[in-house]
């Protein structure tokens, strides 16, 4: 089942972004509804290209910071990962301002460079398994 919550956020000022993220999570019943202390949580921002935040190509670093802070507050263990379409994750995350946030909050930045086959429907007619990045299976 998919869940969606939307909040107006007039700027990327840290406090305003944190309030908007917090409002969305409250409307969904709190982040604790989905994750718990000690759990590993993959945060996958949309990192497409090595552009600065002002360009709007990638998820804004303040949004990532706000989400990571909420996860850390619960006592869960986030990892930020993605597979950019243009460039390496480290280069794109650095330019987009995400790597700095990860260093500041001591959250690992994971590269999606290992795939594993996941068997989901052994009796399936079209797909019996499909590849997933290793981080998503741990």
pLDDT tens readout for residues 36-58: 999 999 999 999 999 999 999 99
Indicate whether 34 pLDDT > 80.
yes
Q: What spatial distance separates the first Cα and last Cα of the chain, rounded to whole Å?
A: 21
Q: Which domain holds residue 104?
A: 14-137
Task: Provide the pLDDT for residue 116.
Answer: 60
8 A C-beta contact, residue 80 and residue 107: yes
Residue 6 lies in a domain: no
pLDDT for 124 beyond 90:
no
| Nearest residue to 105 via CA among 133, 132, 77 | 77
pLDDT of residue 83: 84
Residue 132 resides in a domain: yes
63: CB partners within 8 A, 6+ apart:
12, 17, 21, 45
pLDDT value at position 15?
98
Question: 7 lies in a domain?
Answer: no
Rounded average pLDDT over 89-108:
96
Whether residue 8 is contained in a domain is answered as no
pLDDT at 118: 63
pLDDT band at 122 (very low <50, low <70, confident <90, very high): confident
| Cα–Cα distance for residue pair 50/48, rounded to 1 Å | 7
Q: How far apart are CA 120 and CA 44, in angstroms?
A: 22
- Check residue 113 and give its pLDDT: 63
| Lowest-confidence segment of 16-20, 21-25, 91-95, 109-113 by average pLDDT | 109-113
Q: Based on the structure, what is the number of domains in the chain?
A: 1
**How much is the mean pLDDT over the chain?**
89
């Amino acid at each position: 089942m998919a869940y969606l919550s939307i909040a107006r956020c007039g700027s990327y000022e840290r406090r305003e972004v944190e309030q908007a993220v917090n409002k969305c999570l409250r409307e969904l019943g709190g982040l604790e509804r989905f994750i718990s202390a000690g759990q590993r949580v993959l945060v996958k921002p949309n990192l497409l290209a090595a552009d600065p935040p002002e360009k709007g190509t990638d998820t804004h670093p303040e949004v990532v910071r706000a989400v990571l802070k909420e996860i850390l507050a619960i006592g869960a263990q986030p990892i930020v990962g993605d597979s950019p379409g243009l460039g390496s994750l480290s280069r794109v995350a650095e330019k987009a301002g995400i790597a700095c946030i990860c260093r500041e909050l001591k959250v690992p930045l994971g590269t999606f460079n290992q795939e594993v086959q996941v068997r989901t429907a052994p009796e399936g007619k079209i797909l019996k398994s499909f590849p997933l990045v290793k981080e998503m299976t741990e």
